[in-house]
Amino acid sequence: MTLTTTHELPRFGLKGKLAAEWLATQGLQLPQQPNHWCAQDDGSRLLRLGRGEYLVEGDAARRLASAWQDGQVGLYRVPRYDAGFVLNGPDAAERLSEICALDLRPAVVGEQVLMTLAAGISVTLVYEAEGRYRLWCDATYGAYMQATLKQILD
């Protein structure tokens, strides 16, 4: 099992009724359903966090930040300050089951974005590939979550 931090990856958050339209015009692929995610051609990830809220992580986030202009009605930027983690290994789901009550089996999670509690705090969790999960939490909880994940992996 390995634990990697991804705190430093660029992220771009967006919210509002025009958010999907704007992201599409920027050339991003969007999940059809709320609370799902999809990978972009450049390896970035786009997470649909609700009906009208999105998080983009990776190089695409930089491009979006450059293209962004304030003051657009129905389109609001969400400043992000996330701690990011990648758990990798055949026991990842089982280890995560110590801190998260949801069913994390790949067949169940699929491409869903799970916004839930883990170890008592709000997290966002996705299954990425065999044995690999990505997890985000507010960076103010970053040290706590990192220590907790290390504890369950040890």
Q: Smallest distance from the beta carbon of 121 to another protein, in angstroms?
A: 5
In degrees and rounded to multiples of 5, residue 66 shows phi and psi of: -70, -35
Q: Sheet containing 121-129: which strands, arranged edge to edge?
A: 2-5, 82-88, 132-138, 121-129, 114-118
Q: Which of 24, 67, 108, 129 binds another protein (CB under 8 A)?
A: 108
The structure tokens listed for 24 are: 């599409």
Nearer to another protein, 42 or 98 (CB): 98
Using the structure block, give the residue that is written with the tokens 């970053």.
142
- By CB under 8 A, tell whether 21 contacts another protein: no
Q: Which stretch binds another protein (CB under 8 A): 22-30, 37-45, 95-103, 126-134?
A: 95-103
CA distance linking residue 66 with residue 47, whole number of Å: 19
Q: Which of 39, 138, 146, 153 binds another protein (CB under 8 A)?
A: 138
- By CB under 8 A, tell whether 130 contacts another protein: no
The structure tokens listed for 151 are: 């504890």
**Cβ-count burial 67-94 (b if 16+ within 10 Å, e if not):** eeeeeeeebbbeebebbbbebbeeebbe
Q: Smallest distance from the beta carbon of 73 to another protein, in angstroms?
A: 7
Residues 26-85 close enough to bind another protein by CB under 8 A: 71, 73-74, 76-81
Q: Smallest distance from the beta carbon of 37 to another protein, in angstroms?
A: 20
Nearer to another protein, 41 or 71 (CB): 71
| Half-sphere exposure at residue 27, Cβ-oriented, CA atoms within 13 angstroms | 10
63 SS3 class: helix
Q: Which residues bind another protein (CB under 8 A)?
A: 15-16, 71, 73-74, 76-81, 94, 97-103, 105, 108, 119-121, 138-144, 148, 151-152
